[in-house]
């Protein structure tokens, strides 16, 4: 009895601690749906938890009853082997009822999951924003396909901006191995398979910054392959899109001008693009508006001057195995490049 009290007290304490844990800024929570798709999945989750909890409770209760009703004998008494002589009894009515109830409960879960799928597919796609997300080891390309002309298309990396209240259609591709896109607050997981195009749709109903993550093991830096979804008001979204459509502003101060020259004449330009300059590499994140993003290296580092300089100096320190090479630059050249990239708003 005493032990039971201790266990109960500990469980209550753990529940209180869990309930009091604050949620981080960039939400990453299945339990806080911010759109219809995640809401449907949340409801399915609640149903599963409820039914499984009931079944678990019933099984434990039956076990306890069986233990309680079992005949007791002193330790010294010889074992009772008389049941061995009797043939095993046929399935009784009670067992039959139990099996029937379990089957019905399982069918309830199957039907509920079918209805969840249907509800997810029913999201109205009128006036939707079209995106294409390509996964690489270990970062994400994001292309905005809307606009009258091909030149209105926008490419960015590791950060998706969406307007609140409008549906979003995301085409998913992979450049190398199988990845999986998971935006816990907005939608379920969807695999990105090389050579195929998958699709996921969602709608964000609350403004905020939500974190996404690769959910399929894809190599060394799978854990550091994150992205942010910034849901904002339609006006702010349009302003952001217009800004992204502009080529990079030519730098004005001398250090940034030098930074651009270094950027264009060293290894940076072999893989990165800055629109409006000679840097047109297509193998690494587009840096045309890199200073407007809040993280570096797929959510690994905050986008600050120090972090950027450290990332360029030794990327392998932060993400061992990353395909970004360490570029040997003098201290002045590195400062200039960091200043130039900081000017790309």
Partner 1 sequence: MLILSLVVALAACEREERTFRTPLPNATPQQAGERQSANQPAQPRTDLVRNAASPRSPYEGNAYGVAQGKRLYRWYNCGGCHANGGGGMGPALMDEHWRYGGEPAQIFQSIVQGRPNGMPSFGGHIPEDQVWQIVAYVRSMGGQLRKDVAPSRSDTMYPGEAENARPKMPIKPEILPPEQPTGGPQQ
The site that binds partner 1 (CB under 8 A) totals a number of residues, namely: 21
d(CA 260, CA 339): 9
d(CA 319, CA 223): 10
Beta carbon nearer to partner 1, 204 or 274: 274
Residues 234, 165 contacting (CB under 8 angstroms): yes
Q: Tell the smallest beta-carbon distance from residue 256 to partner 1 (Å).
A: 15
209, 261, 293, 342: which one contacts partner 1 (CB under 8 A)? 261
Under the binding rule (CB under 8 A), the answer on residue 332 touching partner 1 is no
Q: What is the x/- site pattern for partner 1, positions 268-297, by CB under 8 A?
A: -xxx------xxx--x--------------
Q: Which stretch binds partner 1 (CB under 8 A): 14-22, 200-208, 300-308, 317-325?
A: 317-325
d(CA 6, CA 162): 49
Under the binding rule (CB under 8 A), the answer on residue 267 touching partner 1 is yes
CA angle 294, 244, 191 (to 5 degrees): 65
Q: Which two tokens stand for residue 214?
A: 């690769």
Q: How far is CA 61 from CA 64, 98, 127, 188, 337, in A?
A: 5, 13, 53, 35, 68
Under the binding rule (CB under 8 A), the answer on residue 323 touching partner 1 is yes
197, 238, 246, 265: which one contacts partner 1 (CB under 8 A)? 265
How many angstroms separate the first and last alpha carbons of the chain?
Answer: 66
Under the binding rule (CB under 8 A), the answer on residue 112 touching partner 1 is no
d(CA 77, CA 243): 87
Q: Tell the smallest beta-carbon distance from residue 258 to partner 1 (Å).
A: 12
| Interface positions with partner 1 (CB under 8 A) | 261, 264-267, 269-271, 278-280, 283, 314, 316, 320-321, 323, 325-328
């Amino acid at each position: 009895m005493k032990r039971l009290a201790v266990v109960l007290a500990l469980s209550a304490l753990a529940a209180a601690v869990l309930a009091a844990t604050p949620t981080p800024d960039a939400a990453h929570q299945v339990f806080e749906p911010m759109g219809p798709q995640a809401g449907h999945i949340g409801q399915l989750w609640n149903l599963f938890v409820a039914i499984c909890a009931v079944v678990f409770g019933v099984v434990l209760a039956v076990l306890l009853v069986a233990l309680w009703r079992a005949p007791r004998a002193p330790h010294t008494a010889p074992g009772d082997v008389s049941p061995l002589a009797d043939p095993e009894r046929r399935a009784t009515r009670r067992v039959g009822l139990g099996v029937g109830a379990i089957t019905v409960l399982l069918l309830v879960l199957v039907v509920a999951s079918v209805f969840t799928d249907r509800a997810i597919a029913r999201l109205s796609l009128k006036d939707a924003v079209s995106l294409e997300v390509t996964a690489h080891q270990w970062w994400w390309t994001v292309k905005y396909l809307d606009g009258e002309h091909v030149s209105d298309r926008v490419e960015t990396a590791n950060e998706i901006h969406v307007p609140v209240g409008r549906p979003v259609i995301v085409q998913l591709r992979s450049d190398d191995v199988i990845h999986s896109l998971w935006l816990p607050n907005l939608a379920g997981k969807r695999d990105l398979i090389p050579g195929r195009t998958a699709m996921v749709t969602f709608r964000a109903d609350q403004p905020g910054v939500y974190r996404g993550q690769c959910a399929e093991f894809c190599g060394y830096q799978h854990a550091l392959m994150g992205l942010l979804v910034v849901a904002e008001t339609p006006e702010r979204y349009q302003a952001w899109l217009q800004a992204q459509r502009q080529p990079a502003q030519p730098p004005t101060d001398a250090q940034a001008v030098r930074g651009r020259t270094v950027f264009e004449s060293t290894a940076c330009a072999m893989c990165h693009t800055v629109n409006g300059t000679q840097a047109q590499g297509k193998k690494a994140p587009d840096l045309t508006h890199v200073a407007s993003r809040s993280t570096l290296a797929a959510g690994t580092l905050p986008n600050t001057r120090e972090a950027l300089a450290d990332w360029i100096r030794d990327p392998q320190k932060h993400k061992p195995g990353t395909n970004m090479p360490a570029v040997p630059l003098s201290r002045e050249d590195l400062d200039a490049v960091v200043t130039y990239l900081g000017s790309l708003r």
